[in-house]
Structure 1
């Protein structure tokens, strides 16, 4: 083969490779495009709109010609609003109960389901039932179970000798822990499945080496299992915190922000300000602050994960 022929062959190969790359790039763009369009329409534009709205004085009962730029006034008002500040604190209280509980419960369930036993497939299927159950139907069931006067739970506690059982959803002190724990029960299936997938990826050789060294079951969990699944735990912590701050649906159906304003968390407060009181700009300011809090928490976690997450 002559030098000219070799050059032509090499050029044809380069053109073929270039064309293949172009086709792959076009296919990738076509696959990503539906998601990007949906993200821009339903996520990015509303976020930008909420940020702009938070600097205005807009509500649905005023003419557009009366809308004015008021700068940081809405944000200043948030820090002067006792109801809004308490709503933020209640959301953090909810996080402190929900996040550790759902992580621990999901991890324990994953450990149990990772073992071989009779009916394991059926049990794994049943774990999903609360997760896919209708939220309103679940709320009706728990409203009956946790009725403070005639509910079966308090009747059972009365038979056990407890004179003053909890008020559950009707108590000002008990309502947030009760809603959080019900949400743990309903949402732990996701954490269980993710943890179960992570556990099945831990090399068996590490457990065998630990057994040779005489490690107990607890030592194997703390020194082998937890470090190996730490990236999964890191992911679930972030997801759990975000889910805990987006708890409007649970608060609405279980307690409707009550009794009084005992369970008026920030997501519920934002909804009420926007759609009950028509304070859209003020609600937008609260939602932006909530976004910034989530962003700061995520950044802190991302910086701190280098100390305990092992990839």
Structure 2
């Protein structure tokens, strides 16, 4: 009876084939739903597919270079939409991360009803965005909604218009988005805080350090890599705020909450300006890339590995 002895090379080949087999579904999905659309967007941004005619008449499609990109800077609505996206980011990112860190610090301590509080904070994260829109649309209705009725009973005669106000709609949406996304950030920060060496806190206790000193001199520096990662991801998420803006206000009142991603959607699927929308999408990608690179460059000053 003879036994085949597998060599190291044949085993590596077999492991490679198995790895390809398991990776194939992801790679195929990535190719179809990610890579091909990205390449198509880049190509479309340099042609004149700005009407339904081009879909049926391929002969009318021409290379126009940077014309679509130049038109963005002539379009005040597009420029204002980018500005609103950046303003939304300024509302969303700092508050989200500060509140998440504070809650993580509280919950990692021996807080009363800690499990129940953690569950309540996590519930909005798994809530359906349409249900969230209906809930807050009712609560924040300026004409008879429970929040404004409560404020009136406390003596505030002119409560905010919330989602219906020109100056309040965007910060209100940012606040609701923070409420919904808070759980994920908090859980990540809790994991980072729990990994900080207890010996550092014990040494600080021996020195008589206060809680505030331990947080600022030990906790924050030790979790700074996590803070950096969460800031980057929350900045990217803040620019991808189509769903919550669409369901809450659809860009209203007027254009007060018409952010860049909503403007891109409307240009493509309402006005059929596919190439122009593709150019706007690529410009948004470049803005996010530049912001990320600036953050990556600046992290050397405050992130401690």
User: Post-superposition, which runs of at least 4 consecutive aligned residues in structure 1 deviate over 6 A?
Assistant: none
Q: TM-score, normalised by structure 1?
A: 0.92
What is the deviation of 1:121? 2.5
Residue 282 of structure 1 pairs with residue 273 of structure 2 = no
Structure 2: distance between partners of 1:29 and 1:241: 34
The whole-number CA distance in structure 1 between the counterparts of 2:31 and 2:303 is 32
1:121-140 aligned within 5 A: 121-140=115-134
Q: Which residue of 2 aligns with 1:52?
A: 43
Quick one: distance in 2 between partners of 1:141 and 1:164? Answer: 22
- Alpha-carbon offset, residue 118 of structure 1: 4.4
User: Which residue does 2:182 correspond to in 1?
Assistant: 188
Cα displacement (A) at 1:53:
0.1
CA RMSD of aligned residues (A): 1.6
Work out which of the residue numbers 160, 166, 174 in structure 2 matches 1:166: 160
Work out which of the residue numbers 81, 94, 99 in structure 1 matches 2:93.
Answer: 99
Cross-structure match for 1:270? 264
Structure 2 spans left out of the alignment, 5+ residues: none
**Aligned counterparts of 2:19 and 2:221: Cα–Cα separation in 1:** 35
Number of equivalences: 299
Do the aligned partners of residues 305 and 29 (structure 1) sit closer, same or farther apart at CA in structure 2, a change above 3 Å counting? farther
State the SS of the aligned residue for 1:285.
helix
Picking from 274, 284, 300, the partner of 2:294 is: 300
Q: Say whether 1:39 aligns with 2:30.
A: yes
Show the counterpart of 1:17. 8
Secondary structure at the aligned position of 1:39 is classed as: helix
Is 1:214–2:231 an aligned residue pair? no
Q: 1:178 offset after TM fit, Å?
A: 0.2
Q: TM-score w.r.t. structure 2 length?
A: 0.94
> If you compute each CA radius of gyration, which structure gives the higher value, 1 or 2?
1
5+ residue gaps, structure 1: 1-12
What are the superposed Cα offsets for residues 133-183 of structure 1, whole Å, 9 maximum, x if unpaired?
A: 111111111111111121111111112221221110000000000000000
Task: Give the Cα–Cα distance (whole angstroms) in 1 for the partners of residues 113 and 24 of structure 2.
Answer: 43
